[in-house]
Amino acid sequence: MVEKTKACVLISGNGTNLGSLIKNSRNYNFPIKIELVISNNENARGIKLAKKYSIPYKFISSSSIKSFERNTLFEIKKRKIKFLCLAGFMKVLSKNFINSFGYKIINIHPSLLPKYKGLNTHKRVLKNNEKYSGCTVHYVTSRLDSGKIISQKKIKIKKNETEKSLEKRILTQEHKLYSKSIISLFK
């Protein structure tokens, strides 16, 4: 049995990545234990998952990013959290927050970074007739979807691919890549 690092997952939406992290983290040799879920969206579907698996969760408004960061730091320090995962969390964190936390913060993004940072990635990828897309796990910096790349999974775009089909196929890959990347960081 490994000694698990206490982790917090930040979400804003559906939380399917959160769901796969929760499931995998229940494996006895997975390196992190999710001790807290923080959502900046009161109606995020991911909150239901935290409830279902009895993981403490908090809604923290991000209408002021400063107060979001202050409250988040308070909650994670209180619980001795030493690892942060962003999973569909749609805000950029400040340098001050990242430095004050002082431990690793990672994110997953549905493109082959550094290409297609930001929103509407699948739409832009298809519009540009890209042959490939995929997903990336990377360290978080105060610049949007930047930071050192930890791992990527590339998939081939099919004929007649739609935004929806691409989103679905990439999400399936995200769920695998996120956990694999976390395991690799603790080896």
Name the residues that contact ligand GAR, by CB under 6 A. Answer: 11, 13-17, 46, 87-88, 108-110, 145, 171, 174
* Spatial contact of 104 and 98, defined as CB atoms under 8 Å apart: no
- Indicate the SS3 state at residue 89: coil
Nearer to ligand GAR, 77 or 127 (CB): 127
Distance of closest approach, residue 71 Cβ to ligand GAR, in angstroms:
21
Q: Identify each DSSP E strand in the chain by its residue range.
A: 5-11, 32-39, 57-59, 83-86, 104-109, 132-139, 149-156
109: annotated active-site residue: yes
**How many angstroms separate the first and last alpha carbons of the chain?**
14
**Helices and strands (H and E) in the chain: how many:** 6, 7
Q: Which of 109, 122, 138, 175 is catalytic?
A: 109
Shortest CB 80 distance to ligand GAR, Å: 25
Residue 47 parent element (H or E): helix 46-52
Q: Between residues 31 and 110, which has the closer beta carbon with respect to ligand GAR?
A: 110
Cβ-closest position to ligand GAR: 88
Minimum CB distance to ligand GAR, residue 136 (Å): 9
Report in angstroms how near the CB of residue 1 gets to ligand GAR at its nearest: 28
Close Cβ partners of 139 (under 8 Å, ≥ 6 residues apart): 104, 105, 106, 107, 147, 148, 150
Radius of gyration, CA atoms only, the chain: 16
Least separation in angstroms between residue 13's CB and ligand GAR is: 4
Query: Based on CB atoms, which residue is closest to ligand GAR, 77 or 95?
Result: 95
Identity at 2, one-letter amino acid code? V
- Residues serving a catalytic function are 109
